[in-house]
Structure 1
Amino acid sequence: MTLVIQHVTKRYQKFTAVDQLSFTIPKGEAFGLIGQNGAGKTTTFRMILDLQETTEGSISWDGKPMNSVNRDLLGYLPEERGIFPTMPVEEQLYFFGELRGKKRKELKETVEYWLHRFDLVEKRKDKAETLSKGNQQKVQLIASFIHKPEFLILDEPFSGLDPVNKDLLKDAIIHLKEQGTTILFSSHQMDHVEELCDHLCLLKRGKALFSGSLLDLKKSYGKIKLAVRSPHSAEELSSLSGVASAIQKKDHVLLTLKDESYAQSIFDYVSAGQYIERFSLDYLTLDEIFKDKVGESHAEVLASRETTV
Structure 2
Amino acid sequence: MVLVDLHEDFAYSAQEGKDIIHGKEQSSIEMLKTVDKNAIIFSSIFPHIDVLSERSKELSLRYGFYTSSSNFSFDVLLSQLKDYYYLERTGHIKIIRSKEDLKKPGIKFLLSLEGTDSLKEFEDLYILKELHFLNVGLTWNYDTKFASSCFSRRDYGLTSEGEELVKLANKLGMIIDLAHASKRTVLDVCSITSKPVIISHGNARKLKDHVRNYDDEEIECVVKRGGVIGITAITSTLPEKSIKGLIENIKYIGESFGWDYVAIGTDFLGISEVPQGFEKITKIKELVIEGHEDQILWRNAYRVIEENL
TM-score where L is the length of structure 2: 0.35
Between Structure 1 and Structure 2, which shows a larger proportion of strand residues? 1
TM-score, L = length of structure 1? 0.35
